[in-house]
Amino acid sequence: MKSLVIGYGSIGQRHARILKEIGLEVSIVSRRIQTEPSVYRDLQSAFRANIYDYIVVANETVAHFDTLKQILNNNFTGKILVEKPLFAQIESVNFDSSKTFVAYNLRFHPLIKLLKTMLVDEQIISVNAYAGQYLPSWRSNIDYTSCYSAFREKGGGVLRDLSHELDYLTNIFGEWDSLVASMSKISDLNIQSEDYVQVSYKTKHQVHVSVELNYLDRIIQRFVIIQTNNKTIKIDFINNNINCNGETQQLDIVDRDFTYMKQHEAILNNSTLCCSFEEGLKVVKMIEAVEKSSLYKEWVYND
Give the list of residues 6+ apart from residue 86 with CB closer than 8 angstroms, or none: 64, 102, 277, 280, 281, 283, 284
Mean pLDDT of 230-239: 97
Query: To 10 degrees, the CA torsion angle through 24, 279, 223, 81?
Result: 20
pLDDT value for 166: 98
What's the distance, CA 179 to chain centroid?
Answer: 20
Mean pLDDT of 159-182: 97
> 2-103 has which fold?
Rossmann fold (3.40.50)
pLDDT at 81 over 90: yes
pLDDT at 140 over 90: no
Three-state DSSP class for 279? helix
Answer yes or no: same fold for 2-103 and 106-254+275-301: no
Mean pLDDT of 253-280: 95
- 106-254+275-301, superfamily in CATH? Dihydrodipicolinate Reductase; domain 2 (3.30.360.10)
pTM exceeding 0.85: yes
* pLDDT tens figures, 34-80: 666 789 999 999 999 999 999 999 999 999 999 999 999 999 999 99
pLDDT value for 147: 85
- Give the amino acid at 34: Q
Mean pLDDT of 92-102: 89
pLDDT value for 45: 93
pLDDT at 153 over 90: no
Cα–Cα distance measured from residue 34 to residue 30, given in angstroms and rounded to the nearest whole number: 8
Mean pLDDT of 186-199: 96
User: Domain locations in the chain?
Assistant: 2-103, 106-254+275-301
pLDDT at 101 over 90: yes
